[in-house]
């Protein structure tokens, strides 16, 4: 019977996605970076708020709408204070929301760079013959699952593919070509390491 080592990997993208916008100064489509600042405008009782982006070439600005013509009384005071104070956590939340950004502008530039924090949930590394990895994503990433696993476990992607074909590696929820698709929040990966001569090194890499 396999002795599972259960680990949670919390994955955080390092670089915020950048909208690709036609810059009226550069006369071409350019990536815009998040400035790290909100702009809040009050017109009577109505509030507008934007996250400011800047062209990476000329510093021209573009505003990503956060609030539009909202009545002040309908806005939580803490939210309004965070917007007016350029709260870093709120800026991070909006800057890394690739779905909202893509819905607003259409085209974005994404980056595969991530940091991975590993937390042992259950089991003993010295006794483990199998891994159960739970993925938690702070924000969406374009990083493919096979590249994530290969990098963190110190393995080749072809070996991972071989394991999947042998059913020594399983992904939940399952899907066609899951290894070649971006890692997603809530994924669980089970890897049977029985008979692998480098089992100890793989277990150590998975949990360290």
Asked whether residue 204 carries a pLDDT value surpassing 90, the answer given is yes
Is 54 buried (19+), middle (13-18) or exposed (0-12) by CB count in 10 A? middle
Q: What is the pTM (predicted TM-score) of this model?
A: 0.86
Domain of residue 89 covers: 18-109
CB 189 within 8 A of CB 169: yes
**Which tops the pLDDT comparison, 66 or 1?**
66
Please give the DSSP secondary-structure letter assigned to residue 166: H
17: closest CA among 51, 60, 66, 59? 51
Q: Look at phi and psi of residue 5 and say left if phi exceeds 0, alpha if psi is from -120 to 50, else beta.
A: beta
pLDDT band per the 50, 70, 90 thresholds, residue 27: confident
- 95 and 130, same domain (yes or no): no
Of 63, 85, 109, the one marking the end of a domain is 109
Count of structural domains, the chain: 2
- 120 and 203, same domain (yes or no): yes
Q: What is the mean pLDDT of residues 68-87?
A: 95
- 98 and 173, same domain (yes or no): no
Return mean pLDDT, the chain. 95
Q: What is the mean pLDDT of residues 69-96?
A: 96
CA dihedral 34→35→36→40, nearest 10 degrees, is: -100
- 103 and 116, same domain (yes or no): no
- 89 and 151, same domain (yes or no): no
Asked whether residue 176 carries a pLDDT value surpassing 80, the answer given is no
Could you report the per-residue pLDDT of 108-164, keeping only the tens digit for each? 999 999 999 999 999 999 989 999 999 999 999 999 999 999 999 999 999 999 999
């Amino acid at each position: 019977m396999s002795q599972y080592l259960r680990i949670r990997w919390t994955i955080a993208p390092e670089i915020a996605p950048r909208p690709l916008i036609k810059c009226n100064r550069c006369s071409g489509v350019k990536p815009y970076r998040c400035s790290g600042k909100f702009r809040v405008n009050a017109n009577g009782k109505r509030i507008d708020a934007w996250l400011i982006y800047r062209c990476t070439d000329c510093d021209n600005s573009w505003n990503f709408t956060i609030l539009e013509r909202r009545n002040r009384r309908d806005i939580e005071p803490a939210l309004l204070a965070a917007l007016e104070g350029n709260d870093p956590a709120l800026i991070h939340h909006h800057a890394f929301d690739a779905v909202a950004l893509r819905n607003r502008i259409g085209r974005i530039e994404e980056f595969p760079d991530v940091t991975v924090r590993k937390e042992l949930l259950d089991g003993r590394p010295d006794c483990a013959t199998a891994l159960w990895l739970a993925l938690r994503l702070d924000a969406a990433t374009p990083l493919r699952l096979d590249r994530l696993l290969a990098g963190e476990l110190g393995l080749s992607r072809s070996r991972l593919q071989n394991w999947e074909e042998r059913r020594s590696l399983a992904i939940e929820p399952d899907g066609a070509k899951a290894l070649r698709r971006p890692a997603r929040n809530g994924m669980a990966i089970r890897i049977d390491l029985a008979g692998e001569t480098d089992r100890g090194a793989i277990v150590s890499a998975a949990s360290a």
